[in-house]
Amino acid sequence: MVSVPAAQIPGVYHRRIGDIVVTAVSDGYLDGTVEVMQAIAPSDAERMLRDRFRPGRRTSVNCFLVYSAGRLALIDTGSGDYLMPTAGKLQANLKAAGVAPADIERVILTHMHPDHSAGLTNPKTGEKFFPDAELVVHENEPRHWQDDGAMSRADERERTLFFQCAREQMAPYHNQMRTFAGEVEVFPGVTSVPLHGHTPGHSGYRIASGGQSLLIWGDIIHVPEVQVPRPEVTMAFDTDPQAAAATRRRVFDMVTADRQLVAGMHVHFPGLAHLVREGEGYLMVPEPWDQAFGG
């Protein structure tokens, strides 16, 4: 009797960038409504998703390992136990990739929303998931999420899921946390790229080696089917929606002009793609699976 698969294969995908290996690791996905999208009618958003064979707003949650100079870093940590049971799969997929949490010497965050930083710490025990890692994040992130005044102005959901979560997650790393500003090398071959707007310190990371490069652009988009053709569409959880939209347009112009390979935390797994101009807008072209792994 042939056994029928009962689960998907692990969400792990490798990509070479010169001498650096970047591994996309899935944390799972999150489902939600279109009502969180702004500057678009819900009926238009639903139609655009239907036209792309999407039954609703399903958001991939991706993290990225970076193997460089004999060292290992992790960009973003997924959502841990804070959000839906369809997410929080990072630790299982790291194990499938042959990576132990203690192997990771640096955790680099794009920003501190719970689907990016809530996998830092076990909220039940307060123990770090990455015991030997230094935490690296733009200086605006802890400054904003630890601001009691900003927290008091947030609604109850934001106070719990954003402010309180960020504080709980970063607290065990207070002696192993380093902040940066501007464009700096945060790991061998990895340079920060300021992409503020979605949050005050939202940052991307450019990985460059051997004449090749990859821009991990964080949350430049959340819903590819809608925000690529309609970059003016913002999200309810953008800290500064106007700045987020302006940053998105600037990044879209840059990566299309430079033919830059990009990776996103919410681009459908494994999250690697190019953007091209299409009429007055843009089109996302997912990178084909590379079975040869650069060989």
Taking the C-alpha atoms of residue 237 and residue 259, their distance in angstroms, rounded to an integer, is 29
Answer yes or no: is 226 within a domain.
yes
Nearest to 265 by CA among 47, 118, 55: 118
The 10s digit of each residue's pLDDT in 261-279 is 999 999 999 999 999 998 8
Answer yes or no: is 128 within a domain.
yes
In tens digits, the chain (295 residues) has pLDDT values of 899 999 899 999 999 999 999 999 999 999 999 999 999 999 999 999 999 999 899 999 999 999 999 999 999 999 988 888 899 999 999 999 999 999 999 999 999 999 999 999 998 898 999 999 999 999 999 999 999 998 999 888 888 889 999 999 999 999 999 999 999 999 999 999 999 999 999 999 999 999 999 999 999 999 999 999 999 999 999 999 999 999 999 999 999 999 999 999 999 999 999 999 988 889 999 999 988 876 5
Answer yes or no: is 244 within a domain.
yes
Nearest to 167 by CA among 154, 186, 184: 154
Domain that holds residue 51: 12-139+170-286
Answer yes or no: is 157 within a domain.
no
Answer yes or no: is 160 within a domain.
no
**What pTM was estimated for this model as a whole?**
0.96
Taking the C-alpha atoms of residue 96 and residue 119, their distance in angstroms, rounded to an integer, is 17
Q: Is 174 exposed, middle or buried (0-12, 13-18, 19+ CB in 10 A)?
A: exposed
Pairing of strands 212-216, 106-108: unpaired
Taking the C-alpha atoms of residue 259 and residue 230, their distance in angstroms, rounded to an integer, is 20
Taking the C-alpha atoms of residue 249 and residue 270, their distance in angstroms, rounded to an integer, is 23
Q: How many structural domains is the chain composed of?
A: 1
Taking the C-alpha atoms of residue 78 and residue 92, their distance in angstroms, rounded to an integer, is 12
The 10s digit of each residue's pLDDT in 215-253 is 999 999 999 999 999 999 999 999 999 999 999 999 999
Answer yes or no: is 178 within a domain.
yes
Q: pLDDT value at position 294?
A: 65
Taking the C-alpha atoms of residue 169 and residue 258, their distance in angstroms, rounded to an integer, is 36
The whole-chain average pLDDT of the chain stands at 95
Residue 73: which CATH number? 3.60.15.10
Question: Residue 40: how many CB atoms within 10 A of its CB?
Answer: 18
Answer yes or no: is 161 within a domain.
no
Residue 67 falls in which region: left (phi positive, over 0), alpha (psi -120 to 50) or beta = beta
Answer yes or no: is 294 within a domain.
no
Nearest to 78 by CA among 237, 266, 284: 266
